A and B are shown apart, each in its own frame.
Chain A
Amino acid sequence: MTAKSTAARGSTPTLPTHRPGADRGTTPAAGRIGDSVLRPDGVPKVTGDFAYSSDLWMDDMLWGATLRSPHPRARIRSVNIGPALALAGVTAVLTHEDVPGAKTYGLEIADQPVLAIDQVRYAGEAVAIVAADHPETARRAVALIEVDYEVLEPISDMRAAMTEASPLVHEEPTQDEYPGGGNILRKLRIQRGDVTAIADVTVTGEYEVGMQDQAFLGPESGLAVPTEDGGVDLFIATQWLHVDQRQVASALGLPPEKVRLSLAGVGGAFGAREDVSMQIHACLLALHTGRPVKMVYSREESFYGHVHRHPALMRFEHGATYDGKLVFIKADIVLDGGAYASSSPAVVSNAASFAVGPYECDNVQLDGYVLYTNNPPCGAMRGFGAVQVCFGHESQMDKLAIALGIDPVELRIRNAMREGSLMPTGQVIEGAAPVEQILRLVRDAPLPPDADLNDVDVRLMPGGVANTTHGEGVKRGIGYAVGFKNVGFSEGFDDYSTARVRLQLVGGEVSATVHTAAAEVGQGLVTVMAQIARSELGVDQVINHPADTTVGSAGSTSASRQTYCTGGAVKLACEAVREKVLAMAARKLGVPVDGAALDRGDVVDAEGRPLAALAAVLGDDVIEETREFHHRPTVPLTRVAGANGAIGQGDAHLQFAFAAHRVVADVDVDLGLVRLVEVTTAQDVGKALNPLSVVGQIQGGTTQGIGLALMEEIQLRDGLIRNPSFTDYLIPTILDTPPMQVHVLELGDPLAPYGLRGVGEPPTISSTPAVVSALRAASGRPLTRVPVQPEHITGT
């Protein structure tokens, strides 16, 4: 049976019926910086009108589908597309031979084939793509493509991959930027001081982190539309329009201006949309067929279609004095990068940079390695390298506290980083570093009451309504952790954003339009950009222009950087517009410019008294200014030993953000089941531009860390994913997630726009070790691997 799609929707539109951005519109709710302004896209999101990338639709569109390798490592002897092409309803079947431009792509290193060429390096690698008139037809055509594989033994074990005897994942060097040798994609050492210094007490530990998935809910999807000039319009859910544009244009062999990207609605990202997924494939099919092509991954395909959080094997050695001062720290961190580079070089740099945690220690030696293997590629996920090492260093601090007989929070406070402290890289911590303060906040917060064992509600017990205990075997544990990471891109990257702001009368009312290419992925940047424009220009009406590539790059929605960088760009553009408005007021109406500002629709003097109505100043004139915000430069870490043998040194990072967690858990130590009773977070955000959104980020980020601690792992066997579904890859439900207290500090970073500090990632970093610490306290087990399994708790 061949599926036939006869669309039942209206007349032929020239654009998708759900035009991205068309429903994002104006933001009527007045609100400035510091207000808990409601989302401008809230109404369409609750009514179902918001157009996500998987909702797009055009008459005459085709559906794309992808053939993926079932083998983690194999040579391709031949590909026969004939049977697929012969299927009724199939319009195109493409292989690497049909890629007109660059055959490989990548964020930093172009080592990943658009479509496999003569071999595959991970299970799930794209081999061929199909366009057909119905998604089922496309899937059947994919199944008809005949690939003759010579299956090879996969390189799937990190330790084995590091040995000289290991075969190579990439037989030719993929780059010369980071000469690692063998399967090592990048290795680096950060060393300062003397790690042979004598300590009173030494603790060592080995820790392991499983492969976590971002598990955003909106699947990879988009619509590619061929245009008359031989180019293509791509409506896409992504984190960075311009880096997609660069890679798509390169593969298509087109100049970037012929590849126009518009942001479609994004159903979450968390790092998984930094790399290209179906972007190039949909555009290839659209250009080949001359028709719009929609691609939507299924949940299973989504697990194969994006990079994951790096699994880690880590060894730490901590030396301290009897009174609990850290003397030295050594760490070996090995990350599994999988088959292709993605952002692995930056992830391993972060992992080494933050391996000590937010503590002072003068003698450090931190070695980071990231490997090529035949496992699924790993790259960006919220926390970006800091998550893995935080589990290591916080486990070590707990272990050290026990060895020294010192309270674990007190031990952390004795070593806490503060303003002026040195990073292992020698970088001075500038601005607030309230490690001690956030630890005290979570420690001193009121504790939840003990479980009432005389009146047990099984819903509040480990196991819940499975009714596995009425309190027998249940022990309560309390755990703490603190962590930090960098905000913005590091190591010399020119990390900038662009904003265009227009001021004009619309229907008699002064209206500001903010145009950036920044990806709103759910975090609330659209709200914050409008708040900035209202604050800077004194207007109520702000329109967010849909994000697209007709304005300069905004950089990536990652590294907790968009409010800092794109917020900074909007601020600069608004200031430029304001300067012109004031000059116009002086010219047209003779209003004195000195000390003048814009407020509540007026030009006002230094005391806030109205001098002229903004509408009268503007008249029919339109003021538009575009500005780039470049954050202050950073430098690559040194690769050659300097004075005293120090290496891996330099001011590589822009800003640091800190969070601490306390977790209270009830643990059934007989069955290994866990119920979190409460999580308390304290975090410095510098300045909360939108307090409601800030708390939402902290709660959501904390929950992803809970998931890594308790349940989330892509389970691999010989390079194969065993659980590519939400049936088997578990993320926290509302039953798994406890009440959360959040303490938000606003200590102000004088170097950042409005004093803000990036918010999104810190809560994901320290929540994982805090959960495990609570489980250790309850169970007495060492628990050196996350996610913790019931058998780790029971020891069976």
Chain B
Amino acid sequence: MRITFEVNGTTQSADDVWPGESLLYVLRERLGLPGTKNACEQGECGSCSIYLDGTLVCACLVAAPQAHGREVRTVESFAGADGLDPVQQAFIDCGAVQCGFCTPGLILATDDLLARNPQPADAEIREALAGNLCRCTGYEKILDAVRLASARRVAGGDEPS
């Protein structure tokens, strides 16, 4: 089947999609957007987090045909011509990236949190990121990164997206 949807502001189509394919598979293997990661493919780890019509979801749990006609936003959209998003930069600056496999999902989850709650308390950060597994960092530097991104976004007057 053919699936057409908007990805990062551009309308894209994938042909001959087997209806059992996940949105994650279509993004990674058919549309050349492997930044959304495939760590568990069962909705437990958050590595494949994306926005679907503005809602944070696990792309592995979305059947590809469900995305037809809708808007998808992935990690590949975060860096612009003027550089990295403050969330991305904060993850680098704080040492919150080691192997990096969880990072794209955490960038999305952090962006989603800060859009709802620009200055979250630590307990709120922990609740918001509890669906994103990281095996390398022990999460301390991820907390640092979220705090820094929050401060920079507030200081920079960055409007929640």
Contact = CB atoms under 8 A, between A and B. Distances in A.
Contact of A216 (B74, B79, B84, B135): B135
Nearest to A41: B100
Interface in B86-135: 88-89, 91-93, 95, 97-104, 107, 123, 125-127, 129-135
B100 A522 contact: yes
A45 B44 contact: no
B34 A700 contact: no
Interface residues of B, number: 66
Contacts of A403: none
Interface residues of A, number: 74
Interface stretch (A310-318, A325-333, A373-381, A729-737): A729-737
B145 to A, nearest CB: 10
A700 B95 CA distance: 12
A646 B99 CA distance: 44
B92 A38 contact: yes
Interface string B123-161: 101110111111111111111000000000000000000
Nearest to A706: B138
Nearest to B38: A54
A774 interface: no
A9 B14 CA distance: 10
B142 A57 contact: no
B75 interface: yes
A47 B47 contact: no
Interface string B1-32: 00000000000011110101100010011111
A199 interface: no
A391 B18 CA distance: 50
Contacts of A8: 13-15, 30-32
B95 A695 contact: yes
B130 to A, nearest CB: 5
B57 to A, nearest CB: 17
B66 interface: no
A700 B42 contact: no
Interface centre among A46, A136, A700, A733 (most CB of B within 10 A): A46
Given A465-B127, A692-B95, A737-B139, A219 B39 contact: yes
Contacts of A3: 18, 20
Interface in A699-733: 699-704, 725-727, 731, 733
Given A47-B84, A217-B133, A4 B38 contact: no
Contacts of A78: none
Nearest to A693: B95
Interface string A242-263: 0000000000000000000000
Given A18-B34, A700-B135, 19 more contacts: A9-B32, A39-B97, A46-B84, A48-B36, A52-B101, A136-B21, A216-B99, A268-B99, A268-B101, A299-B39, A299-B42, A522-B99, A693-B95, A699-B137, A702-B138, A726-B44, A733-B130, A734-B125, A734-B132
24 contacts: A7-B29, A42-B97, A46-B104, A47-B35, A54-B38, A57-B29, A134-B18, A217-B47, A267-B37, A269-B99, A299-B39, A299-B41, A460-B123, A465-B127, A695-B141, A699-B137, A725-B40, A726-B44, A731-B135, A733-B131, A733-B132, A737-B139, A740-B138, A740-B140
Interface of B: 13-16, 18, 20-21, 25, 28-42, 44-45, 47, 74-76, 78-79, 84, 88-89, 91-93, 95, 97-104, 107, 123, 125-127, 129-143
